[in-house]
Amino acid sequence: MMDYRPPISTISNEVNVVRQLFPDIQPNQTWTLQRDSHRLYIEESGNPAGLPVLFLHGGPGTGCIPAHRRFFNPEAYRIILFD
């Protein structure tokens, strides 16, 4: 059975317990969409046939980092990051 647990769980709404992250992986593919002066970077990693998960990071300028891929089980999820 695959591990579908999120990497962070909350106990009594006050204490965050961080589970170990999944191993580092490389993207399966990356691409850029450009419209006028706007450019959107997109990458996909993990299992192409897995349950899709779209990761939303903080506000403008914070960007995606490789560690964001490690929050999800790459055997279970099709991990999509964009910036």
**What's the predicted TM-score (pTM) here?**
0.73
Q: How buried is 62 (Cβ within 10 angstroms: 0-12 exposed, 13-18 middle, 19+ buried)?
A: exposed
26 phi, psi to nearest 5 deg: -100, 155
| Closest residue by Cα to residue 78 from 55, 45, 29 | 45
Alpha-carbon distance of 18 to 24, in angstroms, equals: 17
Token pair for 44: 């996909």
Question: What pLDDT shows up at residue 28?
Answer: 97
Whole-Å CA distances, 74 to 3, 29, 58, 83: 10, 14, 22, 20
Question: What pLDDT shows up at residue 6?
Answer: 55
What does the pLDDT profile of the chain (83 residues) look like in tens digits? 565 555 555 444 445 555 689 999 999 999 999 999 988 899 999 999 999 999 988 776 778 889 999 999 999 999 999 98
Question: What pLDDT shows up at residue 75?
Answer: 95
Question: What pLDDT shows up at residue 12?
Answer: 47
